[in-house]
């Protein structure tokens, strides 16, 4: 089972803060606020953060609302 978890983790696509900001069309500072506020899960790699693409998509889908 542990081997399955490692295999799944290796298939996860991680994005840099700049890539997340570009995908969400916000500033890098906004992404840092989301990460530090716990709203967007991230992994710290050295002095930088990496965010899984799945977590970005989940955050966006939860934040979506119908106007009107």
| Three state DSSP letters for 13-53 | CEEEHHHHHHHHCCCHHHHHHHHHCCCCCCEEECCEEEEEH
User: What's the pLDDT band for 68 if we cut at 50, 70, 90?
Assistant: low
In this structure, the strands spanning 14-16 and 43-45 are unpaired
pLDDT at 3: 47
Q: Token pair for residue 50?
A: 């990496």
pLDDT digits (tens, 9 = 90+) for 8-27: 777 889 999 999 999 999 99
The domains located in the chain, with CATH, are: 9-63 (1.10.1660)
Over residues 30-37, the mean pLDDT reads: 98
The alpha-carbon radius of gyration of the chain (Å, integer) is 14
Helix or strand run (H / E) with residue 62: helix 53-63
């Amino acid at each position: 089972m542990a081997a399955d978890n490692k295999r799944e983790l290796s298939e996860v696509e991680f994005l840099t803060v700049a890539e997340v900001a570009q995908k969400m069309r916000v500033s890098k500072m906004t992404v840092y606020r989301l990460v530090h506020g716990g709203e967007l899960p991230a992994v710290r790699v050295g002095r930088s953060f990496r965010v899984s693409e799945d977590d970005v998509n989940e955050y966006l889908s939860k934040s979506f609302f119908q106007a009107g």
